[in-house]
Amino acid sequence: MASHQDFVDYVAEQLRAAGMIRSRKMFGEYGLYCDGVFFAVICDDQFFVKITPQGEAAFPDLPRAPAYEGARDSFLVEDVEDRELMTELVRITCEALRSTPQKKARK
């Protein structure tokens, strides 16, 4: 089941205090970016955020699940009504991702 644009738009609206949020359709689902940093996916109308050590420290009790079969676990944010939690998680995650050296693509 593919995600609905209305759900994606709602999640993006909930996260507006975290930074410039944009979504990109990917394989029938959606990737989310905050200020240019890829930090989450929406699959089957569920919101999954990349796990970082900083995110784990701040939110140790958030459930984890793979966004799709074969994927690594991500934080599964079940309560998309909790704008404060979502915003803080996204800020912490994106800050951590920005400070992590990116792997160079193979030639």
The tens-digit pLDDT sequence of the chain (107 residues) is 689 999 999 999 999 999 999 999 988 899 999 999 999 999 999 999 999 999 999 999 999 999 999 999 999 999 999 999 999 999 999 999 998 766 555 55
User: What is residue 40's three-state secondary structure?
Assistant: strand
Give me the pLDDT at residue 1, please. 63
Instruction: Give the separation between CA 59 and CA 85, rounded to whole angstroms.
Output: 9
pTM check: above 0.85 = yes
Measured at the alpha carbon of residue 37, what is the angle toward residues 33 and 38, in degrees to the nearest 5? 55
Give me the pLDDT at residue 100, please. 76
Task: Write the CATH number of the domain with boundaries 5-99.
Answer: 3.30.1460.30
Give me the pLDDT at residue 104, please. 53
Residues 6+ away with beta carbon under 8 Å from 7: 42, 45
